[in-house]
Amino acid sequence: MTLQTVYQRFCMRAMKLHVSLGAFYLPAWLDHLRFRSFVRRQNKRHRMRNGTQSSSPKPSRKRVAVVSPWFGKGISGGAETAAYGLVEAIQEYAPEMDIEVLSSTLPEFAQDWNTPTHPEGCREENGMVVRRFHTQSTDREFFDFINGHFLMPGGTDELRTEANNYRSPIPGCLESYYLMRMVYSPNLLRYIESEWDNYDAFAFIPYMFATTVMGCVVAGKKAILIPCLHDERYACMRVYRQVFQDVRTVLCHVRSEGSLFRRFYPKAPMPEPLGVQVQTDIPQGDEARFREKYDIRGPFILYAGRQVSGKNVPLLIEYFRSFRAQFPRGSELQLVLIGKGDLDYSQEPGVRALGFIPPEDKMDAYRAATALTMLSVNESFSIVMMEAWLQETPALVSSQCDVTRDHVLDSGGGATCGTAEEFGDALCQWLEHPNRAKEQGSKGREYVLSNYTAKIIAERFRDALRA
């Protein structure tokens, strides 16, 4: 064991007594000084640019880069799906823009951040221009300690001050240390700096990573922020408040995300609506085909997504057990789970765990289900709700999740619940009145087509760029 490791673990033990003792971790101070120097240098560059405005005419075409830590068709994650859909929408419905992507060589969030799989450089991927840059490899022991002990657990209420602001969950020096291990790519930042004059805007998504925070510092007033914000302790870090107040534009996916952004970052620009492109040209699902293939008889409710505690799947199972035990039609209802995770309910009575299934089967499942059930309280958009609504299936969501609750209230496409009784009452209504369920599902479909098509997303982005 090296002396550095001994020192690091000593600091970790000290921080278990109080997080403020992390301020004595010297490597964090070195990163903090490096980050502050980086910010000062970029601010000086922007001041010099402001003093030497170019008199040359602006080209009629707009050149825009979408900057995301990961990028690719079909990779997991709501922000990744939103980024890919935005590029698709602009390519198809905003031909006056030259759109490209700046990303890392890493595969996706869920894989090792120290193991790149893409080559560095510029190439065409699925008809999109993608420039990839290597990231800085790091020892993650101390990073994982900070994340696991002080950022992931707990909520934001305990961080709220009497002045209705938020204090950071960790000291400022640790913020810099943490940030410079969140997909930090010096080459990507150097590219933005050197090519700044050749772009009209850089759209950064999502808020949390170094590609966005440090990228926004380099881009300055050409920075468009698409935060994909959650009500989480990460968002309370001071570095986000300091950087986001200087971006050009903020675009949020739903109304409640914009309200949350204003609560965390009151000095930042007022968020504008963007939304997420939803693929709407999907054929209608085939209920009979799904039931025959998976041998499912009778009514069922559906959960589609990762089977993890963070998505409140244990609560869904609890509510489902209660419904089967207490409601007259409970025993005839099944719960079908699509997707995988670290939870296994394959032996639970009334539950069918199908794992990953082909996309066509997924659409069939939506069509066949009595309702989509999703009790997660931490969503930034929810593609699966939109997919279910396109198949005219109502959604039953948590009343504690602002995003999904607002979707339901704005569309009339389902119901909300905060207790097992409310969960059961909603299901009974749909089981006893299937036409009512179909009517609400149809309202959900109309909501998607009126708000989240590729054309609408492209038009909203175009309007933000003109502002």
- Both tokens of 117, joined, read 């799989």
Question: Hunting for tokens 């000291």 — which residue is that?
Answer: 171
pLDDT band at 55 (very low <50, low <70, confident <90, very high): low
| Two domains, one topology: 3-42+61-277+455-466 and 287-451 | yes
Q: What is the mean pLDDT of residues 388-404?
A: 96
The tens digit of pLDDT for each residue in 116-148 reads 999 999 999 999 999 999 999 888 888 989 998
Q: Which CATH superfamily is domain 287-451 in?
A: Glycogen Phosphorylase B; (3.40.50.2000)
Contact partners, residue 451, CB within 8 Å, separation at least 6: 275
Kindly tell me the burial class for residue 203, based on how many C-beta atoms sit within 10 Å of its own C-beta (0-12, 13-18, 19 or more): buried
Phi-psi region of 214 (alpha: psi -120 to 50; beta: other; left: phi over 0): alpha
More confident residue, 218 or 78: 218
pLDDT score recorded for residue 203: 98
More confident residue, 109 or 248: 248
Give me the chain's average pLDDT, please. Answer: 92
The closest of 218, 213, 203 to 235, measured between CA atoms, is: 213
Residue 358 vs residues 238, 283, 352, 355, 433: alpha-carbon distances, Å: 43, 14, 16, 10, 30
pLDDT at 207 over 60: yes
What percent of the chain is predicted at pLDDT more than 70?
A: 98
Cβ atoms 328, 294 nearer than 8 A = no
Fold of 3-42+61-277+455-466: Rossmann fold (3.40.50)
What percent of the chain is predicted at pLDDT more than 90?
A: 75
The tens digit of pLDDT for each residue in 73-103 reads 988 788 898 999 999 999 999 999 999 999 9
Domain residue ranges of the chain, discontinuous segments joined by +: 3-42+61-277+455-466, 287-451
pLDDT score recorded for residue 285: 96
* Torsion sign (Cα): 245, 110, 362, 231: negative
DSSP letter for 170, please: S
Beta strand segments in 318-410, E: 334-338, 351-355, 371-374, 395-398
Position 378: which residue type? N
The closest of 183, 206, 184 to 79, measured between CA atoms, is: 206
pLDDT at 327 over 70: yes
- Among 58-62, 179-183, 279-283, 321-325, where is mean pLDDT lowest? 58-62
Position 296: which residue type? I
